[in-house]
Amino acid sequence: MAKRLEVKRGLLSAAVLAAMALGASPSALASEVPVTGFRAAQFGTDEKAVIEAAKKDLKVDASAIRKTQDRIGKITTLSVNVPDFPPLNLPATVNYVLGYKCACLVQVNIGWTFPESATNEQRTTAMAGVVALVNRFASRPWDKDKAVVNRAAGQVAEGSENALIFFHGQNAQGSAITLLGGPVKMTKTSANGAPSDDKKSESASKTDGAASPLAADVDGIKTVRLLYEKDAAHPDIYRPDADSF
């Protein structure tokens, strides 16, 4: 089983997030992990069914569901704003994405937004929610090379701001769950986990001759996003046909 961790604000080191280790059996196959949608909204269902699922799951009426269409990707999105959505207990938008060709549900993404004036308590609660989600997802029997935790996106260097993939898992059918947040600032820490500007820690690190690791400072996170995708590698969006050129 994945370890349950107490959330502490500030530096979230690679060691801490890596401790949310995948608890799957080595012999388990990724195909055994179903990713079929979000709650009552199931992949492959049409707009009417998705609306009914959203009404049921989010306890809203049809007037609260906003419909938009992407002229470039030719996808349709049904969106619902939720003022306080668990487990992060922050304002969120739940988006149900209908594909271009199938006109059916192919993705659900949930975006939580930290208020500009977020309190310490709000941030602590939200990060506890992130850890709870990681523990839940990581406890499923993913193939060992089909799930990762604590993976920074983009070029990583001291002082850089990156998105942090808290969890990503993909099954044999290509369906995926991804939890990410950002921006996080990459900060150098000493071998004992203290900030690198701590003179004693810096001295000890130099004496030991070990390189200072980087850690993700989660205090600056503004958004957290959770995605459920029917086919992560082949999203059902419109693509111009350039094969004859």
Distance CA(225)–CA(133), nearest Å, equals 12
Q: Give the pLDDT confidence score for residue 189 in this predicted structure.
A: 75
Does residue 28 form part of some domain? Answer: no
Backbone angles phi, psi at 14, to 5 degrees: -60, -35
Q: Give the pLDDT confidence score for residue 25 in this predicted structure.
A: 37
Distance CA(78)–CA(76), nearest Å, equals 7
Give the bridge partners for 113, in sequence order.
223
Mean per-residue pLDDT pooled into runs of 10, the chain (245 residues): 34 41 40 89 98 98 97 96 98 98 98 95 95 95 89 87 94 95 86 49 34 78 97 94 82
Does residue 155 form part of some domain? Answer: yes
Q: Give the pLDDT confidence score for residue 192 in this predicted structure.
A: 53
Range of the domain at 122: 11-18+38-194+212-229
Give the max Cα distance, the chain. Answer: 65
Does residue 137 form part of some domain? Answer: yes
Pairing status of strand 147-152 against strand 105-113: unpaired
Q: Give the pLDDT confidence score for residue 188 in this predicted structure.
A: 83
Q: Give the pLDDT confidence score for residue 16 in this predicted structure.
A: 39
Q: Give the pLDDT confidence score for residue 145 in this predicted structure.
A: 84
Total domains in the fold of the chain: 1
Q: Give the pLDDT confidence score for residue 212 in this predicted structure.
A: 56
CB 226 within 8 A of CB 133: yes
R_g over Cα of the chain: 20
Does residue 110 form part of some domain? Answer: yes
Does residue 187 form part of some domain? Answer: yes
Does residue 51 form part of some domain? Answer: yes
Q: Give the pLDDT confidence score for residue 191 in this predicted structure.
A: 56
Does residue 149 form part of some domain? Answer: yes
Does residue 206 form part of some domain? Answer: no
